[in-house]
Structure 1
Amino acid sequence: MEIRWGLVPDMTGTQLLPELVGRDVAKELTYTGRVIDGTEAARLGLATRTETDPLDTALSLVREITGKNPHAVRHAKRLLELAGRMGVADGFAAEQTAIRDLIGSPNQVEAVRANLDSRTPAYRDPAPASSRSTA
């Protein structure tokens, strides 16, 4: 929409939009300031999906994600954020570091046991040292 005000997208909009929707679509949207609806946003990759009850869907997704090994989720989040921002070899090395950190860890062992026992895993997730109170 910035083009309508004689500006260009900021906050890395020109840098990230082509990665999300492709260079040609990014150019069209940036040059025209065309407004799109949720269905088109999902089709273009700007939204994951549209839902009739977005709050219920979001809460369901949160429950699903928080039911996974929190350390694996953190590693996956970091690795996915790095994707395309570093070389493939460096990304592969980062994956290997994450795997070494996770394999055999208490939460990874719990994931395996819970799956084999057909039960809900009981993960432990102590707060990182940086978020603990020093009082």
Structure 2
Amino acid sequence: MPEYQAFRVEVADKIAHVVIDRPEKINAMNADFWTEIIEVFRWVDDTDEVRVVVLSGAGKHFSSGIDLMLLAEVGNSLGKDVGRNAETLRRKILQLQASFNAVDLCRKPVLAAIHGYCLGGAIDLISACDMRYATRDAQFSIKEIDIGMAADVGTLQRLPRLIGDGMMRELAYTGRTFDGEEARELGLVNRTYADAPALIEGVFAIARDIAAKSPLAVRGTKEMIRYMRDHRVDDGLEYIATWNAAMLQSADLRVAMAAHMGKQKPEFAD
């Protein structure tokens, strides 16, 4: 299994546990983080043994967002020409966006387990995940407004599809902190847990349930949901008809049907 500087990756029961592993820096997203997250999710995509991903943070917090040292380095790289500065910044922003696009486009479901701080860029990250779960006392904030910028790596594009438009605007304009319980009420997280151990136990139980299903069926379901985010209903119906014309011929369907009729637990190939 590959080794990383900003992450720790463990696989058990067909679940990849991807841990942001910079606890001494509140899991701030440094240069290694932004490049390695693409490598991590490429590896996840390519590894058939992995069927589900649980994403969490080491130590007391999920993540405090982008490492301000990284922002300072970008600022120091700028010169006097406005046009060239704009081109440099635009390329950098697109590179950072690609890091979270890798999570969004991953073929496998990604479940975020959030405790402690989930600030700024961490909101962009969890917005790219399939589902989110949190401790009741987790602390969320769209923090970019407080450092004089608009969030630019996915929050403002993905969050409106997860929570109501009015509340999304309030949180983005004010940058105020809200806890796990409010996040659940808003629909940002599916459910909350008393503490971090209960969170991990609960999220892994859900992940194991998903991992036991047909990986082809899970893959198709995720692809259809993702596709419908940006397409009309009739486009989606056309796509699922074409997709299932192939996938309904899979052995998984016969395995699932036989197990259901025999009241047994199905075993699917990777």
User: Shorter-chain TM-score: which interval?
Assistant: 0.7 to 0.9
Structure 1 regions of 5+ residues with no counterpart?
A: 126-135
Correspondence for 1:81: 226
Coordinate RMSD, CA, aligned: 1.2
Q: Which moved more, 1:44-53 or 1:107-116?
A: 44-53
2:178 alignment partner, one of 5, 25, 36: 36
The 3 A distance-change label for structure 1 pair 71 and 36 is same
The correspondence for 2:158, drawn from 16, 38, 47, is: 16
Q: Which residue of 2 aligns with 1:132?
A: none
Question: What SS does the corresponding residue of 1:21 show, helix, strand or coil?
Answer: coil
Alignment of 1:97 with 2:242, yes or no, is yes
- 1: distance between equivalents of 2:151 and 2:187? 18
- Alignment partners' CA distance in 1, 2:265 and 2:215: 14
Return 52-61 or 67-76, whichever deviates more: 52-61
Unaligned runs of 5+ in 2: 1-142
Q: Which has the higher helix share?
A: 1
The yes-or-no answer on 1:48 pairing with 2:190 is: yes
Q: Write the letter of the residue equivalent to 1:54.
A: L
Q: Separation in 1 of the partners of 2:181 and 2:242?
A: 38
The separation in 2 between residues aligned to 1:115 and 1:98, in whole angstroms, is 24
Residue 265 of structure 2 aligns with which residue?
A: 120
SS at match of 1:50: strand
Superposition TM-score, scaled by structure 2 size: 0.45
Deviation per CA, 1:72-109: give whole Å up to 9, x if none. 00011111111221111111112112322222421111
Runs of 4+ in 1 over 3 A off after TM superposition: none
- Residues 42-89 of structure 1, C-alpha deviation per residue, up to 9 Å, x if partnerless? 111111110231111111111100111110000111111112211111
Residue 26 of structure 1: CA displacement? 1.1
Q: Provide TM-score, normalisation by structure 1.
A: 0.86
Structure with the higher strand share, 1 or 2 = 2
Aligned equivalents of 2:210, 2:248: Cα separation in 1: 19
2:149 to 7, 29, 32: 7
Deviates more, 1:69-78 or 1:80-89: 80-89
Residues in 2 aligned to 1:23 and 1:78: alpha-carbon distance in whole angstroms: 24
Identity rate, percent: 33
Partner of 2:252: 107
Q: CA deviation at 1:21?
A: 1.2
The residue identity in structure 1 corresponding to 2:255 is E
